[in-house]
Amino acid sequence: MSPVRVSNQSGYGLLATVLMVIVFAIMGLVGLSMARQELRTETAVTAREVAFYAAETGLARGLDNWSTPAGLIPTDTFWLLDSGPLPSGANYSVGASRLDDGSAVHATYTIRSEGQARDGRAQQVSLLVATMPVEDPFKAALQVLDSVTLKGTADVTGFDRIPIEWNGPFCTQLDDHKPGVVMVDTTAFETKGGAKAEGAPPLDEDTDTVGFFNFGPITYEELAADADITLADGTVIDDSNPTLPSYDFGGACNTADPYNWGDPLNPSLPCANWFPTIHVAGDLQLEGNYRGQGLLLVDGDIRAQGGFEFYGPVIVKGDLVSAGNFEIYGGVKGKKADMSVGTSQIYYSACVLQRVLSNTRAARPRALVDRPWFQRR
């Protein structure tokens, strides 16, 4: 009888099974590697998106918290506007730099914002902006709703004038002349002695009083609510509370000081570029040889004496009563003006008005029309 031969099919089956396990394992490892790579890619894309949106948020908050360093700003000087964390876990930091030579009334800037995701990935975006002129609400050096009395050697002139200290650093040319005084009813104008109104013409009439205290679409109340400095009714500026430039320990202009009203006579010092909006919730009394600049909003009356000087628009809802050598460069609007004593003077100054207004909160910078935005990385 011949021997029986048993086929070794089971060995081949085991080998095939092992090979299949190896193939599936390799496919699993490749799939896992691809999944991990895809996850890393998606994570990176997500992180970049988070960082990008954080940077965009920084741009918006930089505009909301817009400010400029005090004093003249050299070209390419960079300063921080805002920074902080976001609910997404990202952070942002936004700052600005000036692009022009620093002498223009309306400046051009770059706002640069960086957003950073939790994993450290960062994106930067920038915005080209410029401060735009706030509408000049002054039709004359002095505009009132009621009466004007000029006596002594008081002088109100609508012929455009540039303060000596501002001629060159900030102001280079005169603008169109305005009337000296504009009133609802010119029969309520009184002048005696050497007092005079000058301008083109010296005296004019305007019965349109709609929005009299506003700056175009910006209301008096909106400006007052957003004031840098708010003072109580009955505030007195005198030797006890003088308006003098003040500085912090590092030598920067101390904008937190409510009696720091800028430095109009020293263009190279840190407070030369501090133009606060000052709101007085009632009457204001100005005494002594002090000075200030900015936008002055007074709910009640202004009573001024001595040699006080102010550079900028003055809006007084009550009466302006002045004596001594009181001087204003810019323009005044009020209910009534009584300049019966001394040599009080009001000079219309287009450059003063525009320089002050372009540096107040009312003139936040706006994006340029052509190609205002670009992504840096």
Give residue limits of the domains in the chain: 60-132+364-375, 142-357
Mean pLDDT check: name the lowest of 1-15, 28-42, 351-365: 1-15
Among 115-119, 193-197, 242-246, 272-276, the range scoring the smallest mean pLDDT is: 115-119
pLDDT at residue 37 is higher than 80: no
Which alpha helices (H) appear in the chain, and where do they start and end? 9-64, 220-225, 350-357
The mean predicted confidence, pLDDT, of the chain is 85
Q: How far is CA 131 from the centre of its chain?
A: 8
Kindly list the distances between the CA atom of residue 278 and the CA atoms of 203, 246, 308, 315, in Å, as whole numbers in the listed order.
29, 16, 16, 10
Q: Which pLDDT belongs to residue 136?
A: 72
Distances (CA, A) of 342 to 24, 116, 147, 339: 102, 62, 19, 8
- Distance of alpha carbon 242 from its chain centroid, rounded? 25
Query: What are the tens digits of pLDDT across the range 311-352?
Result: 999 999 999 999 888 899 999 999 999 998 888 999 999 999
Query: Do 377 and 121 touch, CB atoms closer than 8 A?
Result: no
pLDDT at 273: 85
363/376 Cα distance (integer angstroms): 27
Q: Is the pLDDT of residue 8 over 60?
A: no
The yes-or-no verdict on residue 244 having pLDDT over 90 is yes
